[in-house]
Amino acid sequence: MSQSDRGLRRLAAGTLLVAFQGTEAPEWVLRELEHGLGGVTLFGFNVAGPGQVSELTTALRGAGEPVISLDEEGGDVTRLAYHVGSPYPGNAALGAVDDPELTRSVYRAIAAELAACGINLDMAPSADVNTEADNPVIGTRSFGADAALVARHTVAAVEGLQSLRVAACVKHFPGHGATRVDSHLAIPIVDVGLDVLRERELAPFRAAIGAGAKSVMTAHVAVPAVTGDQPATLSGAALTGLLRGELGFDGVVITDALDMHAITRSVGLAGGAVRTLAAGADLLCLGPLPTYDDVRAIIAEIVSAVREGRLSAGRLEEAAARVAALRAWFGGARELPAERNVVGLHAARRAVRLSGAPEPLVEPLVVEVDTPPTIAVGDVPWGVGPWLPEAEIVRVEPSAADAPTLLAKAAGRSLVVVIKDAHRHPASRELVSALVAARPDTTVIEMGLPVWRPDSAAYIATYGAARANAQAAVELLQTA
């Protein structure tokens, strides 16, 4: 391979954020980092504990200067706490409190944990304005349905993360909040005019850019007024025209995972990589599915696209320069706080809401109505079990046919029903309605968005299903 060929391959590899299975870095990842690979994205399956993550990131940095990223939003989407649930309550809870200084403190605490583990880029916060209650992928990941509220908390989150030199990645541009389709599975459409888009979806991104956000993540959503029928990730009108031009963003543009069906089932993994680079992306998050063979095929396709004139070498050089500037920023001075931060539980306690009056607990039966996890969240544990050791807890699939059995089990005992986004799941609503009709003294705890409420004696809304949310709800239940 000639020197020019090696240089071109290095530029191509430098645009990729790869993933891998296991808690140690594979040899191929370390080898590719030595040859210019942009970095890695970690997932829950890469995490066994803080010490292990630190060893992993030390090994990765020993092979190059990688961007080391993950999705640590707090709330439902966590990677460091994937196996136990997050100690931070998540954006919906922070939006419910509506204290930007609290949001700033929560994200600074998250940054301290990430920095201590050697992670330099957090794929957070979600700046999506969740105007669609039936949104299957955003929900409690959003600060709320009001653009101004989302904007001020997005700014606070960016400032909290970046105060400790962990780069924020504001997502999902140009907005995933008004969708009813999960872009992991298909291409959602946000069919609004430019005026609505500017006033609603773009407002938090504009504010975050003004606050100095280091990176922005693209969404695999189509906005016909801007992108036609293609997703924003592949649209030069969205990434270069709107984000770079109109909003003036000069930081790093990172794609959402390219192994999502919105890309793989439309233009393919390698084809999507070339098209998003041409559109203006700088770093391509490949997601957890691509193998090393896929990575090599993507690099080869990028190199071929440059040689064939489908992608300019200048575009790769521009991306490399932006990522180099980000790496230089990572290296700035910072001082991590030494104290143990309990801001997460404090925030969850401020967010939790009680309506009605729960009865004192007597040999409580807790019925947790199972809700399928989204792909973005993964199979993170949730529920009140750790905080109610005296209770009998049963996890059930939602079926009204099970109500008689559960009611019989609850005879003479307190009945607590825990749900998650019941407004999105008819079977959950039917089961809960049947239980409450027979036992009006039931306490219902909603750990998703509190859109639907049954006519129970007491109703607790947590605005999230993280560990901190659950603890705050049980404390309220026990002291009410």
* Phi, psi (degrees; rounded to nearest 5) at 67: -75, 125
Other CB atoms within a 10 A radius of the CB of residue 288 amount to 18
**Tokens coding 142:** 């959003």
Enumerate residues 6+ apart whose C-beta is below 8 A from 274: 301, 302, 305, 310, 311
CA angle at residue 270 from 266 to 273, to 5 degrees? Answer: 90
Residue-wise DSSP of 36-82? T--EEEE-GGG-S-HHHHHHHHHHHHHTS--EEEE---BTTB-STTT
DSSP conformation class of 189? B
Q: Which candidate, 465, 464, 462, 455, places its Cα nearest to that of 476?
A: 462
162: buried, middle or exposed (CB in 10 Å: 19+, 13-18, 0-12)?
Answer: buried
**Tokens coding 436:** 């409450």
Other CB atoms within a 10 A radius of the CB of residue 250 amount to 10
DSSP conformation class of 130? -
Cα–Cα distances in angstroms (integers) from residue 84 to residues 110, 123, 246, in the given order: 16, 20, 42
Enumerate residues 6+ apart whose C-beta is below 8 A from 430: 398, 399, 400
Region class of 56: left (phi > 0), else alpha (psi between -120 and 50), else beta: alpha
Is residue 193 helix, strand or coil?
coil
Look-up: residue for tokens 């050697």? 118
Helix/strand/coil percentages in the chain, nearest 5:
45, 15, 45
DSSP strand pairing (16-18 vs 443-446): unpaired
The residues annotated as belonging to the active site are 184, 256
